Amino acid sequence: MVKLTIDGRQTEAKEGAMVLDAARALNIYIPTLCAHESVSAYGACRLCTVDITTRSGRNRMVTSCLYPVEEGLAVKTTTEKIAAHRRMLIQLLLARCPESPELKAMAKKLGADDTPFPKEDPAKNHNCILCALCTRACDEVVGQSAISFVNRGVAREMAIPFYNDSDACIACGSCFYICPTNAIQMTDKNGKRRFVMPHNTMEFELAQCAQCGRYHLPKRQIAWMAKKSGQPLEFFARCISCREEVRL
Amino acid sequence: MKRLSSLKELAGLRQSIATVRDTKKQVVNICGGTGCIALGANDVIKAFNEEIAARGLQDKVDVRVSGCPGFCERGSILTIEPQNIFYQRVRRKDVAELVQATLIDGKTVERLLYPDLTTGKKVIREAEVPFYTKQKRVLLAHSSRIDPQSIEDYLYFGGYAALSKALSAMKPEHIIDEMKASGLRGRGGGGFPTGRKWETTRHAHGDIKYVICNCDEGDPGAFMDRSLMEGNPHSVLEGMIIGAYAIGAHEGYIYVRNEYPLAVKNARIAIEQAEEYGLLGDNILGSGFNFHVKISRGGGAFVCGESTALMASLEGEVGEPRAKYVHTSEKGLWDRPSNLNNVETWANVPQIINNGAKWFAGIGTAGSKGTKIFSLVGKVRNTGLVEVPMGITLREIIFDIGGGIPGNKKFKAVQTGGPSGGFIPENLLDLQVDFDELTRVGSMMGSGAMIVMDESNCMVDMAKYFVTFLMGELCGKCLPCREGMKQLHYLLTRVTGGLGTIEDIALIESLCSTMWDTSLCGLGYSAPNPVMTSLKYFREEWDAHIDEKRCPAKVCKPLITYNIMANCPNCGLCVKACPVQAITPRGKKEPVVLDQVKCTRCGSCFDVCRLDAVLVK
Ligand SMILES: Cc1cc2nc3c(=O)[nH]c(=O)nc-3n(C[C@H](O)[C@H](O)[C@H](O)COP(=O)(O)O)c2cc1C
Ligand code: FES
């Protein structure tokens, strides 16, 4: 275990844990938009910036989602300067996605009413803040890498290859569930699962349960599950509720 | 070629190269660097070969293609030995005359000699050209003598002597101590002490370690690394082999910018030749030490030069940086300990091993040792590569070596350190150039680009220029850099467009502060430098744009007008030159009329007018 202090409170954390985890274990709030327990830390939003002083006395600002705890570290999760930086960061995001309710709520929490920067057309970024949670979930959790970033610099966008090749997507919806700003929409209707992504839409067929007739899972996801689990396809012919019933 | 299996065999080879070399022959050394090639060096080389063959002089004259000595602006350049005559701006058509006059008759051709810019006197020897006299050329010393594609040439000039010394007489720890004692700091920008970096990598856990050479060099106006890699690739390679031996690495990579085809080619040839001689590969010179080097061509973005982005790119991933809280010397390429150094850093290694740490530490200032190569470009009379001791003043570089500002214009600022370096004003010209001093005034050493600006440059516009460059080169991963640069560009465009307010400046300052403190990599946190130094040192220019809607340098288009003066005799030149037909003649000898609404302020009329009848207001 590693001993450190966060906002003056003594605490211990496992070697290799990040400062963000250690702070959360103490119920200390640090705003984040790109961190999630299911995927690796990435460091895109910079909101989790904190002030640290190392045992040897070096003082600087670091992102807590990526900075591993170390013995004798003294962390301040917020200072006046950091609060100002967080306000600036959220204002930059508000200019990018002016209509996002999630960002507006966070801005309020961070003490920013509005943004001093010109607001982009909401139809340009569709609330996508490029946090890479969806791409990391698709890559690290699902293992499909069906979505990724295209273009460099200020032109960066989240997309599927060539904006239309959705072959690798299994329609599982992990991206939809993990998106912090609802930039990805998913609806199941008439036997189809439809995704509205920031820059393209995709539709996939759902499978009907052989027993109850309900549309339960995307056909592609079933194929993926069969392959991953080694179970025969027929195993997934019935929905999970019908399968559970049998077991009971 | 025979594989050398001992130091003795290397010494033997060196001797036989020296004896085979016919020193009685005349030698024409023609620079084959990219700058000279662009100015027709390949034609000149071909013409020399043809002319010499036609006159049957093959037994008396050698034509050799050398590396770049740095005076690219004067290309195609060549020297003739043993007379030691330096010719510049040579073209294909001059070759026959040079062969007859100098090689056969032993005379100099006046018109191709370098004219001293102040006295107009012709200079015969390279060493007497003012551009070279104030330089201290250690790394570039042999570049106009060595054929970069010939390992024998490198050996002839003492190459791989440092490697033999390191392998035979020095333990790895001893080499690292020597590097630490030399005080060498990384030439890629950060200025991190090289010996300490090697030591960390040596002590890092892991069986497999890498050494990497950073030849990505994406700064506008910078070409020192290209020139070294093209002109003397073996010096870089020798440094890497010594480094690998000291660190305990057996694999290395040279990451070269893909837009540098000649550097890629010459590095590849150097590796092949070194492998053939057994200076690279398994059991180097019979020492039992193995080291292999591969070349990787760059991903094509400025940010790929950043250490973690470079390693991601080497792995085949997108070239994006990641947090460096765990250093790459512990966990770098494929999560293994990796030692990355810049081209120029590596090239310094053989010099330090050969001449000793003490010699190296004797050059420079307290905190920055040795020489540094700068690419001096922009509004100076002599542009090119200059190698100078650390601690030389900016004034000496720009005015003594660079020859000052052309066209009787006044110096305004110099930007050091690449696109995210700061602008340094005239009253700091006596600043001693080293890592710490440049940082102190808000700029940085960077990789060594030096861009000189004169009174015709608008400092707000220059800040915008670099923000625009970086906006196109950043990776887009982290929020403050990506969105911040976009807004910085927007705010600067407001100011150069005459729409800026005092509130905009306050916003620029707080935005820059956030970018500085919270960006993920060096690109984002140094990007505010040009803007912040422009504000700091040239505030009156900003005020003129904001308060008076005026661009003092007459650069920002929305703030200037072109006006036809009464002395215009209606010659018609501007009428023809105007691309939008905004100028109409009124009649004989009457000044033409310029339609301010149609005018796009391209400046064509101003450029063609021979009578100064166009006034920019
Ligand atoms: C945006 C950015 C671009 C960089 N480009 C280069 C480059 O082109 N060449 C280089 O040697 N170092 C470059 N660096 C510095 C490297 O990250 C690294 O510090 C250097 O290669 C280490 O070598 P050194 O210790 O020998 O200087 C760059 C850094 C940043 C932040
Ligand atoms: S949560 Fe740490 S950078 Fe986004």
Please write the tens of the pLDDT for every residue from A166-205: 899 999 999 999 999 999 999 999 999 999 999 999 999 9
Quote the distance between the C-alpha of residue B495 and its chain's center. 31
Q: Are residues A162 and A229 in the same domain?
A: yes
Q: If residue B295 lies in a helix (H) or strand (E), which one and from where to where? A: strand B292-297
Q: Is B208 on the interface with A (CB under 8 A)?
A: no
Predicted confidence (pLDDT) at residue A54 exceeds the cutoff of 90 = yes
CA atoms within 13 A on the CB side of A123: 0
pLDDT confidence tier of residue B58, bands split at 50, 70 and 90 = confident
Q: Of ligand 2's atoms, which has the minimum distance to the CA of residue A63?
A: 2
Q: Is B519 on the interface with A (CB under 8 A)?
A: yes
- In A, minimum Cα distance to B511 occurs at A88
Highest mean pLDDT among B46-50, B150-154, B338-342: B338-342
Nearest partner of A44 among A128, A117, A100, A125, judged by Cα:
A128
Q: Are residues A170 and A224 in the same domain?
A: yes
Q: Are residues A100 and A164 in the same domain?
A: no
Q: Is A20 on the interface with B (CB under 8 A)?
A: no
| B290, two tokens | 């193995």
Q: How far is the CA of A123 from the centre of ligand 2 (A)?
A: 25
Q: How far is the CA of A2 from the centre of ligand 2 (A)?
A: 22
- Is the C-beta atom of B521 inside 6 A of ligand 1? yes
Q: Which of residues 75-94 of A touch B (CB under 8 A)?
A: 81, 84-85, 88-89, 92-93
Residues in CB range of B104: below 8 A, 6 or more apart: B55, B57
Q: Are residues A111 and A59 in the same domain?
A: no
Q: Are residues A141 and A57 in the same domain?
A: no
User: Between chains, do A84 and B510 touch, taking CB under 8 Å as contact?
Assistant: yes
Would you tell me how many other CB atoms lie within 10 Å of the CB of residue B109?
Answer: 15
User: What is the domain-level CATH number for residue A56?
Assistant: 3.10.20.740
Question: Would you put residue A27 in left (φ > 0), alpha (ψ -120 to 50) or beta?
Answer: left
Q: Of ligand 2's atoms, which has the minimum distance to the CA of residue A131?
A: 4
Q: Can you give the pLDDT at residue A246?
A: 63
| A130, two tokens | 């490029």
Q: How far is the CA of A66 from the centre of ligand 1 (A)?
A: 22
Q: d(Cα B28, Cα B78) in Å, to the nearest integer?
A: 7
Predicted confidence (pLDDT) at residue B274 exceeds the cutoff of 90 = yes
The DSSP annotation for B148-162 comes to TT-HHHHHHTTTTHH
Q: Can you give the pLDDT at residue A243?
A: 86
Evaluate whether B123 touches B114 at the Cβ level (below 8 Å). Answer: yes
Q: Can you give the pLDDT at residue B434?
A: 95
Out of B323, B476, B482, whose CB is closest to A63? B323
Instruction: Compute the mean pLDDT over every residue in chain A, rounded to the nearest whole number.
Output: 95
Kindly list the residues from chain B whose CB atom is less than 8 angstroms away from the CB atom of residue A42.
Answer: 477
For chains A and B, CB pairs below 8 A equal 96
Domain boundary among A78, A99, A116: A78
| B19, two tokens | 């004896």
Q: Is A123 on the interface with B (CB under 8 A)?
A: no
Q: Please report where in the chains the tokens 């209707």 appear, as a residue.
A: A189
Out of A67, A95, A149, whose CB is closest to B487? A95
Q: Can you give the pLDDT at residue B19?
A: 86
Q: Please report where in the chains the tokens 């002083």 appear, as a residue.
A: A53
SS3 of chain A: helix, strand, coil, percent, to 5: 35, 20, 45
User: Between chains, do B472 and A66 touch, taking CB under 8 Å as contact?
Assistant: no
Length of chain A, in residues: 248
Predicted confidence (pLDDT) at residue B142 exceeds the cutoff of 60 = yes
Closest Cα to atom 29, ligand 1: which residue? B306
Q: If residue B8 lies in a helix (H) or strand (E), which one and from where to where? A: helix B7-20
Q: Please report where in the chains the tokens 């699902």 appear, as a residue.
A: A142
Evaluate whether B351 touches B240 at the Cβ level (below 8 Å). Answer: no
Smallest CA–CA distance, residue B61 to chain A, in Å, is: 52
User: Between chains, do B323 and A85 touch, taking CB under 8 Å as contact?
Assistant: no
Q: Can you give the pLDDT at residue A166?
A: 87
What is the mean pLDDT of the segment spanning A211-230?
95
User: Between chains, do B325 and A68 touch, taking CB under 8 Å as contact?
Assistant: yes
| B79, two tokens | 């020297």
Predicted confidence (pLDDT) at residue B330 exceeds the cutoff of 70 = yes
User: Between chains, do A44 and B301 touch, taking CB under 8 Å as contact?
Assistant: no
Predicted confidence (pLDDT) at residue B331 exceeds the cutoff of 70 = yes
Evaluate whether B214 touches B313 at the Cβ level (below 8 Å). Answer: no
Give residue A30's domain range: 2-78
- ipTM metric: 0.94
Q: d(Cα B266, Cα B65) in Å, to the nearest integer?
A: 12
Predicted confidence (pLDDT) at residue A248 exceeds the cutoff of 60 = no
Q: Are residues A101 and A142 in the same domain?
A: no
Ordered domains of chain B (ranges, CATH): 7-128 (3.40.30.10), 159-361 (3.40.50.11540), 371-454 (3.10.20.600), 459-547 (1.20.1440.230), 561-616 (3.30.70.20)
Q: How far is the CA of A202 from the centre of ligand 2 (A)?
A: 29
Which segment of A100-109, B18-27, B270-279, B297-306 scores lowest on mean pLDDT?
B18-27
Q: Are residues A69 and A102 in the same domain?
A: no
Q: Are residues A241 and A177 in the same domain?
A: yes
Burial A62-86 (b: 16+ CB within 10 A, else e): bbbbbbbbbeebbbbbbeeebebbb
Look up the pTM and report it. 0.92
Q: How far is the CA of B446 from the centre of ligand 1 (A)?
A: 8
Q: Is A62 on the interface with B (CB under 8 A)?
A: yes
Q: Which of B518, B519, B520, B525 has the most A C-beta neighbours within 10 Å, making it the best mutation to test the interface with A?
A: B518
Q: Are residues A70 and A148 in the same domain?
A: no
Q: d(Cα B577, Cα B606) in Å, to the nearest integer?
A: 10
Q: Are residues A139 and A224 in the same domain?
A: yes
Q: How far is the CA of A32 from the centre of ligand 2 (A)?
A: 5
Q: d(Cα A232, Cα B492) in Å, to the nearest integer?
A: 62
Q: Are residues A184 and A198 in the same domain?
A: yes
- Is the C-beta atom of B524 inside 6 A of ligand 1? no
Which segment of A53-57, B103-107, B455-459 scores lowest on mean pLDDT?
B103-107
Burial of residue B219, with CB atoms counted within 10 A of its CB: 0-12 exposed, 13-18 middle, 19 or more buried? buried
Nearest partner of B226 among B32, B504, B89, judged by Cα:
B32
Q: Are residues A72 and A86 in the same domain?
A: no
Q: d(Cα B469, Cα B153) in Å, to the nearest integer?
A: 40
Total domains in chain A come to 3
Q: Is B313 on the interface with A (CB under 8 A)?
A: no
Quote the distance between the C-alpha of residue B320 and its chain's center. 24
DSSP code for A18:
B
Q: Of ligand 2's atoms, which has the minimum distance to the CA of residue A35?
A: 1
Evaluate whether B523 touches B420 at the Cβ level (below 8 Å). Answer: yes
Out of A45, A68, A117, whose CB is closest to B479? A45
Would you tell me how many other CB atoms lie within 10 Å of the CB of residue B245?
Answer: 23
Q: Can you give the pLDDT at residue B591?
A: 92
